[in-house]
Chain A
Amino acid sequence: MAEVDKLLIQDIRTGSDDAWMHFVERFGGRLQAFVRKKIRDPATVDDIVQDTFIGFINSLPNFDESRPIDSFLFTICRYRLIDHFKKTGRRNVVSMTTDDSQQQIDLPAGDRSVSTLFRSGERRQAEHEALLQILEKEVSLLVESEAWVKLSCLELIFVSGTPNKEIAELLELTQQQVASFKHEFIDKIKRHMLRLGVNTDLFPELYSEP
């Protein structure tokens, strides 16, 4: 997190009105725009953004300042949306929400992943953190080296699950190039994980077919 953001969070922790106003000015618009992607009613949009800010305040004691504020806020916001759709019966949502939207979200590792919220055991969390650390490093290297096509390709493979053929057409690559980027990336991730002592069998995507 940038130094200026750390100072902002420190001021908010002291209860500073000015710091909080600065925070809602800065993040209110993007959260509102995010919720509008899912909900049209302006009053409901505002309710969810407000609940997100309250959720952030309630989670402040556990907020990990090494993680970006944005990512943490959007995670809380998605929880609020899930709560909302669960209450209104609109979505067939995964059972990972809190019952009370005002309840503190327990995210001890910063923006702790949704998928681990109902797991017990430090080991699983450690595996998650290890993979996160590796991915952060590898994605940063791609950004720093301005390998934009490769980054697009890997993002579409792993984050969207887009088929290789479709990716090749979208990015004007051959299917062999797409498969090669994927293999190279998986090999790197596996090597990092082995070095950190993490069992690579726990990550099915590292063994799927090209």
Chain B
Amino acid sequence: MHSFSDSEIAAYLEEDLEATRASALEAVSVEDTSLQQRIQQIRQQMNDGEHSLGAIWRQHNLSCPGRKTLGGYLLGILPDAQSLFIRSHIETRGCLTCQANLDDLEQQQTETQDTLAARATRYFHSSIGHLSQQSDNEK
């Protein structure tokens, strides 16, 4: 039996809920009319601009460890208590931003420099025209 907190529903609506939980929420909401009503209610509250302490905390990544700390976590060199916090943050809270940062750090160790450079070049070429246009507009 799945149950979802209001905070999770808000994160889902902002594409900030961990993928497994998001899929579970979608699956349950197909037949669960009370969950559908809660989703609708929370959507309305968000559209009305209601404040939420949890949402502000999440949206601004207030407790996300920095990249260096995440690197230390991967290497297993952090104090136990801090490692436990990071594990809870990533696995239990399901912070997508930190999961992505960890994946990226791991990928940097496994991918070749050529692959990483090709990716950067691809993104560079698809966006640099917009930067030139933007700086021309500002002049």
Contacts and interface: CB of A to CB of B under 8 A. Distances in A.
Interface of A: 12-15, 17, 20-21, 24-25, 28-34, 36-38, 46, 49-50, 53-54, 57-58, 60-61, 68, 70-71, 74-75, 78, 81-82, 85, 91-96, 111, 113-116, 118-119, 124, 127-128, 131-132, 135-136, 139, 143, 146, 148-149, 151-152, 155-156, 158-162, 170-171, 189, 202-206
A171 B87 CA distance: 11
Interface in B111-139: 116-117, 119-120, 122-124, 126-128, 130-132, 134-136, 138
Interface string B23-49: 000100100000000010001001111
B93 A20 contact: no
A149 B14 CA distance: 27
A146 B29 CA distance: 39
Contacts of A12: 131
Given A14-B135, A15-B136, 16 more contacts: A29-B119, A37-B18, A37-B99, A38-B22, A58-B130, A71-B59, A85-B15, A94-B43, A114-B46, A115-B52, A135-B60, A156-B93, A170-B92, A189-B53, A203-B53, A205-B52
A155 B50 CA distance: 20
Interface residues of B, dominant DSSP: helix
Contacts of B79: 146
A15 B7 contact: no
Given A71-B60, A78-B15, A160-B92, A92 B39 contact: yes
Contacts of B14: 78, 82, 94, 114
Interface of B: 5-8, 13-16, 18-19, 22, 26, 29, 39, 43, 46-63, 79, 81-82, 84-85, 88-89, 92-94, 96-97, 99-101, 103-104, 107-108, 116-117, 119-120, 122-124, 126-128, 130-132, 134-136, 138
B43 A149 contact: no
Contact of B53 (A93, A143, A158): A158
10 contacts: A15-B131, A29-B107, A34-B100, A115-B49, A132-B60, A139-B62, A146-B82, A160-B54, A160-B92, A204-B50
Contact of B8 (A116, A119, A135, A160): A160
Given A53-B123, A58-B130, A118 B49 contact: yes
Given A114-B14, A160-B7, A13 B47 contact: no
